[in-house]
A and B are shown apart, each in its own frame.
Chain A
């Protein structure tokens, strides 16, 4: 490897490697130092759309455990009759992959949320999906959502003194999640090997978590 190859990649390669574009593959390596060679270019990456889901939370079963050293804890559960999984394009296969698309309902969903004092909601969520062809897929993920200034206190106080979301104008919290999947059904076993990423919204209405909707992709 010549000395010039240790320099930064050309500007064209760097701009091509911007997120959202097909990344330039890195071949610039510095072998002059001890230890592993250092990359000097971005790795290729893309996202593969898997499915979307909507969850309506069960307000009757919301359990507030109280304040703990790491924050306030709330247990939340989904409503089976109003929670579903679907493909936004109503496709029957995963785009570009040919595997069966995932659609069905959410049989069970639970969240052990920790609302931290820095107004971050940290959640540990478990969901059981029953597909239309009766396969069961278990999905787990963590998420961090910023509730806005004073957001945790507003949710905990549970009072409607201010308008922290109404039925007509819910307060939307953008969320990003990192789901993993488990199933024993051979038709969907391919999903076990994927690390997912979810982009979604958590809706707060009258200071209570009410709904969650997400688009789930796989990191590829």
Chain B
């Protein structure tokens, strides 16, 4: 029985909502840094994410708690990547900027965290630059993603309740016939409250 249901919710006591329709000003918004994600993947267009020996998911300055924009204090997960896959572009459009990563990581409390990343990626030189990349060459670019998360960990359950938004870099290098992509993201949490 959900006890919250027994208490009538009176919206008269809540702040007045924003005026409706054809607004002339922007809604409030806040974003705050939550954690960073580093990942290496080989291949392309289909990617295989490499396991990490170090924490791939971490706070950049090793903080253990971050405060969400709405004031909630949450534990910062540290996790090592176990496996993952992904995709560049799209099977139907090789010039598409689409980026998808699915990462499975082991949290510091022993539970597994699945991270789904979807977004866009652009290389300097355009969408076909990675195809014409010379051997031993290096190509840089930027990537922007939105992530969703699944875990049974009670400590990190807050991750399952929100999307994070990643601003990142990608570096592609080819050696010994293997193309390696190195991703590095800062993940931010956002609220419209």
Contact = CB atoms under 8 A, between A and B. Distances in A.
A176 B14 contact: no
A49 B27 CA distance: 12
Interface string B57-86: 000110000000000000000000000000
B148 interface: yes
Contacts, number: 164
Contacts of A18: 33
Contacts of B32: 19
Contacts of A201: 17-18, 27, 192
A58 interface: no
Given A35-B53, A35-B54, A213-B23, A164 B190 contact: no
Nearest to B96: A192
Chain A interface extent, by class = 35 or more
Given A35-B52, A165-B11, A172 B17 contact: yes
A200 interface: yes
A153 B2 contact: yes
B192 A175 contact: yes
A33 B27 contact: no
A19 B167 contact: no
B17 A195 contact: no
A144 B162 contact: yes
A105 interface: no
Contacts of B22: 54, 84, 86
A192 B97 contact: yes
Q: Which of B146, B165, B182 has the most CB of A within 10 A?
A: B146
Contacts of A39: 36, 38, 60, 184
A172 B28 CA distance: 13
Given A176-B190, A176-B192, A195-B145, A52 B9 contact: no
A217 B157 CA distance: 27
Contacts of B4: 148-150
Given A162-B10, A195-B145, 8 more contacts: A19-B188, A36-B38, A153-B2, A163-B11, A176-B162, A193-B122, A214-B27, A219-B119
29 contacts: A14-B61, A20-B31, A35-B53, A39-B36, A41-B60, A43-B184, A88-B25, A144-B162, A149-B4, A150-B2, A150-B4, A154-B5, A163-B10, A164-B9, A169-B11, A169-B12, A169-B14, A169-B17, A170-B11, A171-B11, A175-B192, A178-B163, A193-B120, A195-B144, A195-B145, A199-B191, A203-B20, A213-B21, A213-B23
